[in-house]
Every structure is written in structure tokens, then in C-alpha cells.
Structure 1
Amino acid sequence: MANHKSALKRIRRNEAVRLRNRYQHKTVRNAIKKLRSEEDKKTALTLLPTVVGMIDKLAKRNIIHDNKASNLKSKLMKRVAAM
């Protein structure tokens, strides 16, 4: 167990950040699933910018890797364009 006050604070902080990152990542995954399951092109086109923005925000905060974000965005845009 940690002996220093700062180490205890770091443990609390890490847990809070981990839970926040987990929540944001799961929210984006659900949005991606919703976009992928969309059948109507018009609604997919309106959903796409918000999902892309969410993915960019995850990449900016280092929750996911930049390349993963690029791959996700590329696949989603291809899927919507092919509708």
C-alpha cells in the first residue's frame, strides 16, 4: 500500500480518470454501432459528423491511438458513401 499522501492521491486520480475514459470509449463504441446499423443514408449522413467528432476527441485525449481513429473514420465514411 502507498505510504505517501501524494501516492494515495495519485491512486484516487488514476481511478477517476480510468472510469471517465472507459465511459467515453463505450459511448463512442455505441455511437459507431448505431451508425453502422443505420439503413437510411440521410440519417447516416447526419450522424456521421457527430461520430467522427467523438472519435477525434478520443484520439486527442489519447484514449485511442491516432491510427485507430483514422481507420475507424475511414471505414465509417466508406460505409456511408456506399449506401
Structure 2
Amino acid sequence: MRLPDGHRPVTEEVILGDCFRCDRGALQVVRVGELVGPRGEAPLYACRACTERLTAMHHHTHETPVRPYAAADAPTDPR
């Protein structure tokens, strides 16, 4: 499974499993994160199509924030 250039999953391991986003099963998935709660954590696995969609959503959010005023108050990179 290839991800968009410059993006890496939480783990490199590709397994056969269920995608948390599209609810399809028996797909090649990679671990993309986890849900953490007071009783433990649950790993999140996503298929290639959903991983690409999540990456696109991430880029879109950074390019056009829903609340532009929030970006104005965000700390800047001191470099």
C-alpha cells in the first residue's frame, strides 16, 4: 500500500483487516492512530482510499481553516 508522498502511517505494517472509516472488511489496512479513553486505547486502521481521503482533508483544513481567527491566535514557528 502506498500513501501520498511525504506521508507515513503510524506503523509501516500492512495487515488484512477492517477500515474504521468506510467499515469495509478484509482489506489491506495500516494503523493510522488510536482512540484513547479512560479504559484503554483502540487502534484505528484505514484502507488506502480512506487514508488518502483523510490526508486530503488534513491539507484542506490547513489551507482553509473553518475559523480563520483561530489561526491568527495560533503560535508561530520561532525558526
TM-score, length-scaled by structure 1: 0.31
Higher helix share: 1
Is the radius of gyration larger for structure 1 or structure 2? 1
TM-score, length-scaled by structure 2: 0.32
